[in-house]
């Protein structure tokens, strides 16, 4: 075992965090496998973010292929963390592998794949990605909807506007409402928090109404 391996097995998050910070400050390819493997099991969010930082500090030509292999892992966290790190490296060549996870059965992986795909999509792939993401409009809870809206907005106004216009013509009221919310976010990036709060209030009011009628 290496010193890094030992430190990452420590039950104290502070110890693991310092170990990863050291690895990133003095990056060496020898740590690559240890860092990647830890991404799949690390329970602390701050340590996971530091793992991403440390991996980004290593040469992309050795890190990217290693991360792509993680996209096929059974563990959802391994897939999610690999997607997150790939989005930070911004190597568009991995887009075909990343977009395959846009429909991942794990909700967390799916949301991360939306963000990563939006970041990595080449210009000529963006319209198709916007249409694919639009298929999920109107589904899920408010966090899922906001995550989808933000991913679509990241594709750019020229790409997203016609897709939202098409969605606004759908019969499904939830799809139309979500398309409208995404349009608001497109023109006001600070509206995300307001949209989440507004939706939460509506859901609370609906819950009270159902209890009263029941």
Average confidence score pLDDT of the chain: 91
Q: What is the pTM of this model?
A: 0.87
Are 128 and 92 in a shared domain?
A: no
Are 129 and 115 in a shared domain?
A: no
Are 87 and 147 in a shared domain?
A: no
Residue 158 is predicted with a pLDDT of 96
Q: Which of 85, 120, 155 is the last residue of a domain?
A: 120
Alpha carbons 176 and 125: distance in angstroms, whole number: 24
Q: What is the number of structural domains in the chain? A: 2
Are 114 and 132 in a shared domain?
A: no
Is the Cβ–Cβ distance between 125 and 93 less than 8 Å? Answer: no
Are 66 and 21 in a shared domain?
A: yes
Are 137 and 96 in a shared domain?
A: no
pLDDT in tens, 63-103: 999 999 999 999 999 999 999 999 999 999 999 999 999 99
- CATH assignment of the domain containing 73: 1.25.10.10
Domain that holds residue 53: 1-120
Q: How many residues does the chain have?
A: 214
Are 24 and 70 in a shared domain?
A: yes
Give Cβ neighbours of residue 175 (< 8 Å, ≥ 6 apart).
Answer: 137, 138, 167
Q: Which of 68, 103, 120 is the last residue of a domain?
A: 120
Q: Which of 98, 120, 142 is the last residue of a domain?
A: 120
What token pair was written down for 207? Answer: 């819950």
Taking residue 157's Cβ as centre, other Cβ atoms within 10 Å add up to: 11
Are 103 and 194 in a shared domain?
A: no
Are 18 and 100 in a shared domain?
A: yes
Output the DSSP codes for 104-127.
-SSHHHHHHHHHHHHHH--GGGHH
CA distances in angstroms from 106 to 49, 75, 79, 128, 136, listed in the order given:
20, 10, 10, 22, 14
H or E element at residue 183 = helix 173-187
- What b/e string do you get for 73-99 counting C-beta neighbours within 10 Å, with b at 16 or more? eeebbbbbbbbbbbbebebeebbebbb
Residue 110 is predicted with a pLDDT of 97
């Amino acid at each position: 075992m290496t010193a890094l391996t030992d430190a990452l097995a420590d039950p104290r998050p502070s110890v693991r965090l310092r170990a990863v910070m050291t690895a990133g400050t003095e990056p060496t390819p020898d740590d690559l496998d240890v860092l990647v493997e830890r991404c799949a099991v690390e329970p602390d969010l701050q340590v996971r973010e530091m793992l991403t930082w440390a991996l980004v500090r290593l040469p992309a030509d050795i890190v990217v292929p290693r991360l792509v292999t993680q996209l096929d892992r059974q563990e959802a966290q391994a897939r999610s963390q690999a997607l997150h790190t790939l989005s930070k490296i911004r190597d568009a060549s991995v887009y075909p592998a990343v977009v395959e996870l846009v429909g991942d059965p794990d909700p967390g992986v799916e949301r991360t794949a939306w963000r990563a795909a939006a970041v990595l999509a080449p210009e000529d792939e963006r319209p198709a990605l916007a249409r694919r993401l639009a298929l999920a409009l109107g589904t899920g809870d408010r966090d899922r909807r906001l995550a989808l809206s933000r991913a679509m907005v990241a594709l750019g106004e020229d790409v997203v506007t016609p897709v939202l216009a098409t969605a606004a013509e759908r019969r499904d009221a939830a799809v139309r409402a979500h398309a409208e919310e995404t349009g608001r976010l497109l023109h006001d990036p600070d509206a995300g928090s307001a949209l989440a709060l507004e939706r939460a209030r509506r859901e609370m009011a609906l819950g009270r109404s159902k209890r009263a009628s029941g």
